[in-house]
Amino acid sequence: MSITVEQAQAALQQAECLHSAETVQGAIKQLAIDITEVLADKDPLFICVMNGGLVTAGHLLAHLPFPLQVDYLHATRYRGETSGAGDVHWLCRPQNSLKGRHVLLVDDILDEGHTLCEIVRWCKAQEPASVQVAVLIEKIHNRRNPEAQVDFCALQVPDRYVFGFGMDYKEYWRNADGIYAAGE
């Protein structure tokens, strides 16, 4: 569903700020500490899950004090909507070989986890040494795919439609500097 710039502006004005920019930045720094403890000596392949993981990945990379390689993938079920439906649509797979590598997938949110499960399944089929997942946000509810697991999580949010810091509201506001819940 396409919206106008005016509707996007109204959505932000009506939204509730769940996590301020300062809170998000602090959580990303802690996420980097947690990841460093596990992967600093493993020559990891850091894979950003596009588009949502872009902002988190960019901020997180600046706090990881060890050598790593960066790649990306793009797989989606949402296609501009506020809820996912149907199969995962692959737009781009990583260019680097995953075979024998310690892979860190970085994404914006763990919600129901269907897309994440498909991405992890595909990565594991490439025969990496390990696959770990880091997300900025975990949404708290009981609809999650039981196979959807993360190794690193910065923040949690209630079961509401959230946007900002990489997550979109109908293709807008990925650039919002905090985490917002859409107005009811």
Q: How many domains does the chain have?
A: 1
Tell me what pLDDT residue 82 has. Answer: 46
Q: What is the pTM of this model?
A: 0.92
Residue 137 lies in a domain: yes
Residue 59 lies in a domain: yes
Which amino acid is it at 59? Answer: H
Cβ partners under 8 Å of residue 9, min gap 6: none
Q: Which domain holds residue 62?
A: 19-181
Tell me what pLDDT residue 43 has. Answer: 96
Dihedral of the alpha carbons of 144, 148, 152, 154, in degrees to the nearest 10:
-20
Report the SS3 class of residue 125.
Answer: helix
Tell me what pLDDT residue 158 has. Answer: 97
C-alpha closest to that of 1 among 85, 83, 80, 86: 80
Residue 113 lies in a domain: yes
Tell me what pLDDT residue 40 has. Answer: 97
Tell me what pLDDT residue 2 has. Answer: 82
Residue 172 lies in a domain: yes
What letters, b where the CB count within 10 A reaches 16 and e where it falls short, cover 172-183?
A: bbbebebbbbbe
Averaged in consecutive runs of 10 residues, what is the pLDDT profile of the chain (184 residues)?
90 97 98 98 97 96 98 79 64 96 97 93 97 97 92 97 95 96 87
Residue 7 lies in a domain: no
CATH of the domain at 63: 3.40.50.2020
Report the SS3 class of residue 66.
Answer: coil
Give the torsion sign (CA, 117, 94, 133, 43).
positive
Residue 93 lies in a domain: yes
Tell me what pLDDT residue 183 has. Answer: 87
Question: What's the rounded Cα separation, in Å, for the pair 121 and 117?
Answer: 6
Residue 70 lies in a domain: yes
